Amino acid sequence: MTQLSSAAEILAACGFDKAELAGGTLAVTSPIDGAEIARLAETPVDDMPAIIAQAGAAFDAWRRVPAPRRGELIRLLGEELRASKDALGALVTLEAGKIVSEGLGEVQEMIDICDFAVGLSRQLYGLTIASERPGHVMRETWHPMGPAAVITAFNFPVAVWSWNTALALVCGDPVIWKPSEKAPLTALACAKIFARAVARFGDAPEGLLQVVIGGADLGAALTASPDVPIVSATGSTRMGRIVGPEVAKRFGRTILELGGNNAMIVAPSADLDMAVRAIVFSAVGTAGQRCTSLRRLIVHNSVREALVERLVAAYATLPIGDPRKAGTLVGPLIDADARDRMLAALERARADGGTVHGGEPAKDAPEGGAYVAPAVVEMPGQTEVVREETFAPILYVMGYDDLEDAFAMQNDVPQGLSSCIFTLDLREAEEFLQRSDCGIANVNIGPSGAEIGGAFGGEKETGGGRESGSDAWKGYMRRATNTVNYSAALPLAQGVKFDV
Ligand code: NAD
């Protein structure tokens, strides 16, 4: 066990007092053993107009603060996160069931995006453009946009908030955060950390960050409001199908980060030792509950049998159990419904002619948690169940002979988040990078996990959003084209004459 092992210790280390954890209507349970750890007060949906108005008032002040000064707040947030890393990481483990190093890793990712955003606060670059008219200059400039709603999923309860918030705040936009109802404590803990950064910053407006606790109705209030110009929503494609059209109806902007169904192609030349390690981590890490988890393995038939044998052997040795315990690699699923969905998917795979290795409820795991043995499923082809995202550690294996067929299979799913190939053949690797239709395409590394710096997101039913690195900041700003005439004449473009 880590030093912070009991729920009470972790909650105290995160700065909660007993009163705020009791008496509310939202029961928070730990997936580790199903124990109730808090009963939180929920935000009444009737409060949403005032919360949105508060964000609007904060915007009016914050947009006038120079961007490098806004970056200073994020620098302080990064410092506060460094100081709180152990406590917040332990809370992620308690509330989301991640193993210790993954809980800490999630907080590290928050620190990394803060560092990135601080630099960015001095690099919100526009363009200068040559004008065809004498004595004129054209510029493209970027401006704060307004309050951003950040709706997050249970599986990255804190990192996804920070990806959005660090960028939104340096771009001049206040944030209203609607965390998953399955992980509200980590959100409240982040709000406390943020408040410490604000106190050190000194003159930040009230309401730069507001956290609303509750279910989809709060998300829907944000989605519907024309005073929330940006809605960044991470979660299931089911949710995105509702949020996307609702925001579009009022011509708002969405950043959608939805489900994935990520594949790896293993070519005959692949380094199988490396491939096995990459497969096991990306299919089994976070108990298969990453949007980028590896779900489909498309293997050349010449190496398929040997690879499956090695995977089945590796899976048999996986330590499954209490995620707080040193050495555990597979913690619990988020709840019993998630386990039932996994078992139902395995039944469908069997009915489609699949051979299932593993996949049974785990023995010797804590009572009250949904612990399962990860499954490797040899499939005769990419049937309907394989084309769906089941948010659990199921790895479907399909064979191929011709690389063209492998490319076709990799793309033939509704989702388009992450993909990869293991090969030592340069031509195959480069061809794969041209042909994958995903937002993330890798060579000789698994599909899961994101590193701050690259833009994160995917195509098709994954929603098309990009967050975190590269020029994702542009999603939080509006662009203006400015033409300035410093001459004493008024020529028109394209030679148009209009003398009055
Ligand atoms: P979910 O869709 O059930 O919930 C996500 C969030 O959306 C929650 O905060 C929920 O309250 C809110 N919500 C639900 N319905 C809503 C509505 N009608 N209007 C507004 N808000 C609504 O997802 P989950 O089970 O928490 O997370 C798992 C899913 O998230 C998986 O599909 C996974 O692939 C996806 N995910 C995607 C990414 C990515 O970056 N692409 C990252 C993490 C998770």
Average pLDDT over residues 139-151: 98
Between the CA of residue 325 and those of 365, 367, 379, 444, what are the distances in Å?
Answer: 11, 15, 34, 31
Average pLDDT over residues 255-263: 98
* Backbone φ, ψ for residue 58 (5° rounding): -60, -40
| Whole-model pTM over 0.90 | yes
* Fold match, 7-258+463-481 / 262-443: no
Binned at pLDDT 50, 70 and 90, residue 3 comes out as: low
- For residue range 370-425, list pLDDT tens digits in order: 999 999 999 999 999 999 999 999 999 999 999 999 999 999 999 999 999 999 99
The residues annotated as belonging to the active site are 257
CA of 130 from ligand 1 middle (Å) equals: 44
The reported pLDDT for the residue numbered 14 is: 98
Between the CA of residue 424 and those of 398, 444, 446, what are the distances in Å?
Answer: 20, 8, 15
Binned at pLDDT 50, 70 and 90, residue 2 comes out as: very low
Q: Which residue has the tokens 């890798």?
A: 442
The reported pLDDT for the residue numbered 4 is: 67
Q: Which residue has the tokens 């948690």?
A: 369
Residue owning the nearest CA to atom 9 of ligand 1: 180
Q: Does ipTM exceed 0.90?
A: yes
CA of 151 from ligand 1 middle (Å) equals: 8
Q: Which residues contact 256 (CB under 8 A, 6 or more apart)?
A: 233, 240, 243, 244, 462, 463, 464, 465
* Backbone φ, ψ for residue 409 (5° rounding): -65, -40
Q: Is 232 left (phi over 0), alpha (psi -120 to 50) or beta?
A: beta
* Backbone φ, ψ for residue 253 (5° rounding): -105, 135
Nearest to 444 by CA among 305, 207, 273: 273
Give the integer Cα–Cα distance in Å for 72 and 54. 22
- Which atom of ligand 1 is found nearest the CA of 222? 20
Q: Is the pLDDT of residue 1 over 80?
A: no
**Ligand 1 environment, Cβ below 6 A:** 151-156, 160, 178, 180-181, 215-216, 219-220, 223, 234-236, 239, 242-243, 257-260, 291, 389, 391, 417, 462
- For residue range 416-436, list pLDDT tens digits in order: 999 999 999 999 999 999 999
- For residue range 37-60, list pLDDT tens digits in order: 999 999 999 999 999 999 999 999
Candidate of 43, 102, 109, 151 to mutate for ligand 1, largest count of ligand atoms within 8 Å of Cβ: 151
Average pLDDT over residues 167-176: 99
Element containing residue 427 per DSSP (H, E): helix 426-435
Order the strands of the 209-211 sheet from edge to edge: 209-211, 175-178, 148-151, 230-234, 253-257
Residue type present at position 410: Q
Contact 292, 260 (CB under 8 A): yes
Binned at pLDDT 50, 70 and 90, residue 5 comes out as: confident
Q: Which residues contact 483 (CB under 8 A, 6 or more apart)?
A: 131, 136, 137, 138
Spans of all domains in the chain: 7-258+463-481, 262-443
So what's the architecture of 7-258+463-481 in CATH?
Answer: 3-Layer(aba) Sandwich (3.40)
Binned at pLDDT 50, 70 and 90, residue 369 comes out as: very high
So what's the architecture of 262-443 in CATH?
Answer: 3-Layer(aba) Sandwich (3.40)
Candidate of 234, 247, 289 to mutate for ligand 1, largest count of ligand atoms within 8 Å of Cβ: 234
CA of 228 from ligand 1 middle (Å) equals: 19
CA of 450 from ligand 1 middle (Å) equals: 18
- Which atom of ligand 1 is found nearest the CA of 151? 9
Give the integer Cα–Cα distance in Å for 488 and 148. 42
Give the rounded percent of residues in the chain with a pLDDT score beyond 90. 98
SS3 401: coil
The reported pLDDT for the residue numbered 389 is: 98
- For residue range 107-134, list pLDDT tens digits in order: 999 999 999 999 999 999 999 999 999 9
Q: Is the pLDDT of residue 450 over 90?
A: no
* Backbone φ, ψ for residue 325 (5° rounding): -80, 135
Give the rounded percent of residues in the chain with a pLDDT score beyond 70. 99
- For residue range 267-285, list pLDDT tens digits in order: 999 999 999 999 999 999 9
- Which atom of ligand 1 is found nearest the CA of 178? 9
Q: Is the pLDDT of residue 189 over 90?
A: yes
Q: What is the mean pLDDT of the chain?
A: 97
Give the integer Cα–Cα distance in Å for 345 and 338. 11
Average pLDDT over residues 169-176: 99
Q: What is the DSSP letter of 144?
A: E
